[in-house]
Structure 1
Amino acid sequence: MPVEGGSAGGGGGVRRAKQKRKSHSLSIRRTNSTEQERPGMHRDILDAQDSKLPMSVRSNLLDLFGQIEREFENLYIENIELRREIDTLNDRLSADGQTVEGGDLTKGALKTKASHSTSQLSQKLKTTYKASTSKIVSSFKATTTRAVCQLLREYVGHRDGIWDVSVSRTAPVVLGTASADHSAMLWSIETGKCLLKYVGHAGSVNSIKFHPTEQMALTASGDQTAHIWRYMVQLPTAAPVPEVSAPCDEEVDFSDKDEVEGDPDGPSECPALRLASATLRSHQGVVICADWLVGGKQAVTASWDRAANLYDVETSELVHSLTGHDQELTHCCTHPTQRLVVTSSRDTTFRLWDFRDPSIHSVNVFQGHTDTVTSAVFTMSDNVVSGSDDRTVKVWDLKNMRSPIATIRTDSAVNRISVSVGQRLIALPHDNRQVRLFDMAGVRLARLPRSNRQGHRRMVCCTAWSEDNPSCNLFTCGFDRQAIGWNINIPALLQEK
């Protein structure tokens, strides 16, 4: 992770950077350790010193070879059991043939039965083999999709890394970014022009969320507060969209010395807003994230003081303090249609808070990861998707949270994920500058292209879907100080796999 980016707290500039670097270093050691445990023949082939394969490709091949070996090991064991059954059946037939003399009819029936059983067993073995090999082949197909990912717009102007990106829910639809440079910006999605710059915080702005029905934004900051501020913007005339597209999974690494070109002092002619409509206070540490509850009358904040707080928006009064996490919180998210809140923490857990019954405020704790849970988000259905520094993303069913219904394993720590409403796609931002797309079943669909002309050059911090937008339907942001708008076209047949 780049050290030059500001910390989430806005004061100790290297705390978050050191944490991410340490996590990334640990993940590298775990990757090396995991590769040493792979089957010997595959390790020798792929871990050769003169291998020209990128680490991500090698890791993916190792996983696929491991799947192949496990599938054929299961087939081998089942084949042995089937042979034992056939031998037992043959022994019984031999014994019956000796005791029945002249019983050609019975003997023939027994032979027919044996032949029929053997045929059934053979068909079972073929079916199992076909299903297993089809599964392995589909794994290869899922990683070689030619889905089209088109970079439409770059939003450049922040002077430090961008922690969060969000899209407004009311007209006019605008893009919001929260940055370590102590500011939040609103952008025209079509032109990439800055419409408004909020500079009311005294620390890093760590998250931004838009009110569900009004032109209001909620920002969380390292100054230990969350601000609610109103905005009025006028969209400029749309500029023509450049025809720059590439198939997903294209990659050419950048040098770490590359920088995004642009005005170091920020976008020109961007009006500034300094006063908040309301300030939410009560935390004793960095406020890392904030979100609106359904209806927009209450807001929840998550802090490094290990607590999440629920506020009344109209009065700015604290309604509930949600305590129980053992370490700093990293994220909070609200359900789009129900009074549910999920908080994630460095203590490797995420918690589900239920406010649907006004008289009972229940909480459930879920231990699904082995490292910091960087984010947990709801879907429109009854699912929660969690991402972690342990390089996994897990999909959970709210009706049965005992174990995940899908697990996605990656080669880098995962930051703030997002799930599309209609297509049910998960966008994963990584420490290693990649952005990958998966479906809810855990099947990889695409990787956003990275080349000399497009893509992020530093850690990608957050993703946000905007399916109602006719042009950009996915936004990403990172510590290269820019946000990017993408048009993602996933073929329907590919999503059904």
Structure 2
Amino acid sequence: MSKSKSKRVSIPRSEAEMPSHVYSQLNTSFRSQDVEGDTNLPPVIRSKLQDLFAQIEKEFENLYNENLNLHDKIDALNEKLEKENYNPERQQTIFESTDDVIPVKTSKHKLSGSSQKLKTAHKLKAQTSKIVSSFKTPSVVCSVVKELRGHRDGVWDVAVARPGVPLVGTASADHTALIWIMESGKCALRYIGHSGSVNSIRFHPTRDLVLTASGDQTAHVWQAAITPDYNKTGASSDEDIEGGGEGESGCDTDIEGGGGTSTLRTPIAELTGHAGVVSHADWMSGGDLIITASWDRTAGLYDVEKKELVNTLTGHDQEITHVCGHHSQRLIVTSSQDTTFRLWDFREPIHSVSVFQGHTDTVTSAIFTKREEKVISGSDDRTVKVWDLRNMRSPQATIRSDSAINKLAVSNLGIIAIPHDNRQVRLFDLTGQRIARHRQGHQRMVCSVAWADEHSFSSNFFSCGFDRLILGWSIQNIKDL
């Protein structure tokens, strides 16, 4: 191997490493109780089918785990190669010393040759500066400090409530959403109002309301007012709560800290109108409007108080995978399997829309930053791109990875958290420089991440995955970056 070049080992993406949208947001699951409900198959044939499905699932899981182990070995080898072949100090010394090799007096031919070398060196420096910086020693320390268990199936989404409300919400393929106490890690509320996979969860920006989207083709708004003693849970009405006291039958024994868990069944509002799975939903600025994304290729704009659909956004050619509302302006960004994301501007009476084609595969999420006017998009094409809202012609930075990207999150300080299909979570800044990588934690793909950097607890970052786990992370020294 040449010492002057770095070689990376790569393998093609296996079918076992399936993109999240293929798994995602199913409104039913392959469970025996579901099959038995509406089938005319004889019991013997049904039993054989169930056995075959179980065998297929087992073989698939074995293949999936083998694939992940192989990727871990490849990552370790790549890191070793990077350390051996890229020494930032050595590279910097070489580039800086180039300025001194041009003699003061020389022939025209020699001057031309030296100038060409100088230009080449500076060009090489510009091209490699980002590469070298991406291999720098991680400047943050990441460690798992909490492990939240309670869901019976994969966890699609995780969200953190507003400052002063120390709650974490999770949405799962087990048809439930859970509300957790951030500090103790205990489950305070279980929402069971959906009849399909719960695909996303978001807290209201100012009120004790929660918004969930589901494979049952609806979005629900429900109450989640947790009292300071964490023992009582508010709901839309008293009769909607089951098992509100410790040790009652409504408590789930398989939820850690579930002794005080209440169960809520009835929402304040049920938003209907989609003809397909509702993959995601979010609040618009102010919290008076809700935007939903659906596999019927439309996004719906709903009035919260009236519980009515006020506008339907059309234009995407395939299923919409994600939607995000700007925190302070009437802006919406939708992501789609058609490889585009769209920016919808409602700041004027007649709204406008812009289409962006920066990816080559499904755009799994696109989000707004909180401080800078930027949009960050992630895709199954294994790239994350940073865009300036004032000039969206081309991305300001492109982050390339070896695995598909799922639901992104960005901190108040501009730290991008990227969850991957390959079980890893990586941190980058807005210029595309890698800050850290979480290689330990989840056992299956990481579906979503959320920052809790506005709260003063040991866990300032949360991730969830298809291993049914929600992990609370402590990420230190972010402010010193």
TM category, shorter? 0.7 to 0.9
Taking the TM superposition and a 5 Å limit, the aligned residue runs for 1:40-189 are 54-59=73-78, 89=108, 137-141=132-136, 144-145=137-138, 147-169=140-162, 171-189=164-182
The structural deviation recorded for 1:56 is: 2.2
Length-normalised TM-score, structure 2: 0.74
Q: How far off is 1:54 after superposition?
A: 2.2
Q: Deviations over 1:401-430 (max 9, x none)?
A: 111100001111110000001x21000001
- The answer to whether the 8 Å contact 2:213/2:279 transfers is yes
Could you tell me which of 414, 428, 440 is aligned with 2:418? 428
Structure 1 residues 122 and 333, CA gap change in structure 2 (3 angstroms): closer
- Residue pair 2:149, 2:255 contacting (<8 A) in 1 also: no
Q: CA offset at residue 172 of structure 1?
A: 2.9
Q: CA deviation at 1:466?
A: 1.3
Aligned partner of 1:244 in structure 2 is none
1:170-319 to 2 correspondences below 5 Å = 171-236=164-229, 264=254, 267-319=258-310
For the 8 Å contact 1:183–1:198, the answer to whether it is kept is: yes
User: Does the Cα contact within 8 Å between 1:159 and 1:265 map onto a contact in 2?
Assistant: no
The amino acid of 1:276's aligned partner reads P
Q: Which residue of 1 aligns with 2:453?
A: 467
1:377 to 340, 357, 367: 367
1:408 to 387, 396, 399: 399
Q: How many residues matched? A: 398
Q: Which amino acid aligns with 2:195?
A: A
Separation in 2, partners of 1:487, 1:444: 18
Distance change >3 Å, CA 492–CA 312, structure 1 → 2: closer
Question: What displacement does 1:228 show?
Answer: 0.5
Corresponding residue of 1:443: 433
Paired amino acid for 1:188: I
1:47: which partner in 2?
none
Question: In the aligned structure 1, how far is the partner of 2:443 from the partner of 2:195?
Answer: 27
Q: CA RMSD in A?
A: 3.8
What CA deviation, in whole Å up to 9, does each residue of 1:139-189 have, x standing for no partner?
A: 332xx3252113221111111111000011164321000011111110001
Which of 465, 479, 485 is matched with 2:466 structurally? Answer: 479
Distance 2:308 2:202 in 1: 19
1:86–1:134 Cα change, 3 Å: farther
| Partners of 2:163 and 2:455 within 8 A in 1 | no
Q: Max radius of gyration: which structure? A: 1
SS at 1:54's partner residue?
Answer: helix
Q: Residues 64 and 317 (structure 1 numbering): CA distance in 2 closer, same or farther, change over 3 Å?
A: farther
By how many angstroms is 1:208 displaced?
0.5
Gaps of 5+ in 2: 1-15, 32-55, 232-251
Structure 1 residue 64, shift from structure 2 partner: 9.4
State the AA in 1 paired with 2:75.
Answer: S
The corresponding residue for 2:385 is 394
Work out the CA distance in 2 between the residues paired with 1:170 and 1:491: 18
CA displacement at 1:270 relative to structure 2:
1.2
Contact 1:207 1:290 in 2 (8 A): yes
Mark the CA change 1:271 to 1:12 in structure 2 (over 3 Å): closer, same or farther.
Answer: closer
SS of the residue corresponding to residue 346 of structure 2 reads strand
Q: Give how far 1:193 is off.
A: 0.6
Structure 2: distance between partners of 1:183 and 1:53 = 32
How far 1:124 moved relative to its partner?
A: 6.7
Provide the C-alpha distance between the structure 2 equivalents of 1:448 and 1:411, rounded to a whole number of angstroms: 14
Shift of 1:490: 3.4
Cα deviations by residue, 1:317-356 (Å, 9 ceiling, x for unpaired)? 1111011111111100011110000000111110000001
Q: State which of 361, 364, 371 in structure 1 corresponds to 2:354.
A: 364
Q: 1:440 to 1:150 in 2, by over 3 A?
A: same
How far apart, in 2, do the equivalents of 1:119 and 1:206 lie?
61
Q: Distance in 1 between matches of 2:333 and 2:291?
A: 10
Give aligned-pair identity as a percent.
52
The match for 1:105 is none
CA distance in 1, matches of 2:283, 2:128: 47
Residues in 2 aligned to 1:185 and 1:218: alpha-carbon distance in whole angstroms = 12
1:54 to 1:160, Cα distance in 2 relative to 1, 3 A: same
The structural deviation recorded for 1:291 is 0.3
Aligned AA (1:437): L
CA distance change for structure 1 residues 129 and 372 in 2, over 3 Å: closer, same or farther? closer
- 1:237 deviates by 7.8
Q: What residue is the counterpart of 1:329 in the other structure?
A: 320
1:422-457 deviation per Cα after TM superposition (whole angstroms, max 9, x unaligned): x2100000111101100000000001241xxxx111
Question: Residues 392 and 136 (structure 1 numbering): CA distance in 2 closer, same or farther, change over 3 Å?
Answer: closer
Consecutive aligned runs of 4 or more in structure 1 exceeding 2 Å deviation: 51-54, 56-68, 117-140, 170-173, 234-238, 262-269, 490-493
Distance in 2 (CA, whole Å) between partners of 1:394 and 1:133 is 19
CA distance in 1, matches of 2:220, 2:129: 53
Paired residue for 2:311? Answer: 320
Picking from 27, 30, 45, the partner of 1:10 is 27
After superposition, the Cα gap between the structure-2 partners of 1:172 and 1:140, relative to the gap in structure 1 and judged at 3 Å, is closer
In 2, the alpha carbon distance for the partners of 1:372 and 1:7 equals: 13
1:283-309 deviation line (CA, Å, top 9, x unaligned): 000001000000010000000000000
